[in-house]
Amino acid sequence: MSSKIKSLKYNGKWDFSPSIESIKDISLKKEYQLFINGQFQKPISKKYFPSINPSNEQQLTKIAHAESKDVDLAVNSARNAFNGHWGKLPAKERAKYIYRIARIIQEKSKELAIVETLDGGKPIRESRDVDIPLAAAHFFYYAGWADKLQYAFPNRTPKPLGVVGQIIPWNFPLMMAAWKIAPALATGNTVVLKPAETTSITALLLAEIIQQAELPPGVVNIITGDGSTGELIVNHPDVNKIAFTGSTKVGKSIMQSISSTNKRSTMELGGKAANIIFEDAPLDQAVEGVINGIYFNQGHVCCAGSRLFVQESVYELVLRKLKDRMQSLVVGNPLDKNTDIGAINSKEQLSTINKYIDLGVKEGADIFQLNCELPNGGYWCPPTLFTNVSQSHSIANEEIFGPVLAVQTFRTTQEVINKANNTPFGLSAGVWTDKGSKAFNLASKLKAGVIWANTYNKFDPTSPFGGYKESGHGREGGLHGLSPYLNLE
């Protein structure tokens, strides 16, 4: 069969002229301070750390490092705002501020997209078309709920929790900040948020937007630092809830730290999603979905479809189409509008990904990588896929968080359900089939919080997102995203 399968020959005919987004109107400050009580303040520690552009390793700016006393100030300011003006504000007035933030994000979307790309390494097309519009959409969506909570929870009395500590990762910096802050404000809480060390800048631009929207001081505090700053927020006695997105390892340590307190929590942790192609699927569409599922944002996506299961009868055809499509991906300058795969977010993450690629080869899987020239300087990894993968391989079990796909086959529906569920994670999955009944059957049997049918990586503020098992607990987005921020009496 394989000899009859033809390959597409691109031979460089698909080259595009560069189309680089201009950064001439972007002016970053030399130093970014902590946003506490509505003001930008120097850290008491007087410490700063550099923020690096991962596509060229150049320093973009310096970011303040919050230590214990700074965290105290931020939490106290959030508490004062909660006990004061914000706690007494009618819900429809809260909504006006949230709408205002959403509109200013839209107005500044170009600047935000460029900075997100400079700081995080993701392609400008993704920052421009996904991250920033979704961040604004989250604020718009939750603004709408602020004065309708009694309809969301009929016969209950929804009350805010108080001060919420929110810790976010580096893969979708502004979008994660929006996912966290918007529902917290809509439900009447106040916030202390810490962005990830490698991608703090857009959260600080959001702080400027919050200032411009004239949100009362202390309602949102944004403090920067490393994991130790996050730990201080988690362990602060005056924080009522922790909302965390990040690795399962840190999620577990946070759960241990708060286990003897009455702090509430939502945990959005790692994943190892199965993307399943049945023989009756629209194969070209499925291949597009697989590419998007694993190579979107360089695979730095908790719900990335990093395990591909293909029904044996169409395996060779799908693999050929997949490899052909991979050959057309453009890896390079994240500011180029033609770029599909940007820079890996940090040196550390690149070495983690490379460690897994080496392990895949060592454990006996067959590697296929896009044959392309990688830019000089910066952190890069070509799109990679492994075939001849077995269930026991590390690349099939552990979250790599990079552009690395592990391909396996199956014969029957039951077999693929067993294989897909054979993971400690349970965040997301994808099913590609022509049969609605098959999609529904799989959706009820796969142990994952989000299951896409004939599509992948579709996000919408109205739709809940979250995991089972080691992928965490609680939901963000939609109506479900309100209750983790409320006491329902």
Residues of this chain that interact with ligand NDP (CB under 6 A) are 167-171, 194, 196-197, 226-227, 230-231, 234, 245-247, 250, 253-254, 268-270, 302, 352, 399, 401
Comparing CA positions, the residue from 170, 186, 219 lying closest to residue 92 is 186
Compute the least distance from the CB of residue 232 to ligand NDP, in Å.
8
Local structure of 192: helix, strand or coil: strand
Q: Which is nearer to ligand NDP, 167 or 482 (CB)?
A: 167
Please state, in angstroms and rounded to a whole number, the distance separating the CA atoms of residues 450 and 428.
5
CA 376 to chain CA centroid, nearest Å: 27
Q: Which amino acid is at 392?
A: S
Residue 42: DSSP 8-state: -
Beta bridge partners of 476: 465
Residue 304's nearest CA partner among 393, 370, 391, 403 is: 403
Q: Which residue, judged by CB position, is nearest to ligand NDP in the bound state?
A: 230
CB of 251 to ligand NDP, least distance (A): 7
State the nearest-atom distance from the C-beta of 4 to ligand NDP, in Å.
Answer: 40
**Rounded Cα–Cα distance for residues 138 and 99 (Å):** 10
Least CB distance from residue 197 to ligand NDP, whole Å?
3
CB 466 → ligand NDP: shortest distance, Å? 11
476 is catalytic: no
In sequence order, the β-bridge partners of residue 32 are: 63
Instruction: Give me the residue label for tokens 């001081």.
Output: 217
| Cβ neighbours around 1 below 10 Å, total | 8
- Mark whether 268 is an active-site residue: yes
Nearer to ligand NDP by C-beta: 141 or 356? 356
Whichever of 314 and 404 has its CB closer to ligand NDP, that residue is: 404
DSSP assignment of 273-328 equals: -EEEE-TTS-HHHHHHHHHHHHHGGGG--TT---EEEEEGGGHHHHHHHHHHHHHT
- Which residues make Cβ contacts (< 8 Å) with residue 165, sequence separation at least 6? 75, 192, 193, 194, 233, 234, 236, 239, 241, 242, 243
The residue (of 96 and 473) whose beta carbon lies closer to ligand NDP is 473
Residue closer to ligand NDP, measured from CB, 73 or 242: 242
Are the beta carbons of 40 and 34 closer than 8 angstroms? yes
Active-site residue, from 21, 126, 268, 470: 268
Q: 212 or 253: whose CB is closer to ligand NDP?
A: 253
Nearer to ligand NDP, 170 or 296 (CB): 170
At 29, phi and psi to the nearest 5? -75, 160
CA-wise closest residue to 120 among 198, 31, 206, 178: 198
- What secondary structure letter does DSSP report for 130? I
Taking the complex as a whole, the smallest distance from the CB of residue 345 to ligand NDP amounts, in Å, to 8
In whole angstroms, give the CA distance from residue 252 to residue 248. Answer: 6
Two structure tokens written together for 94:
């809260």
Catalytic residue, chosen from 126, 302, 381, 476, is 302
Rounded to a whole number of angstroms, the minimum distance from the CB of residue 392 to ligand NDP is 20
Query: Which residues are part of the catalytic machinery?
Result: 268, 302
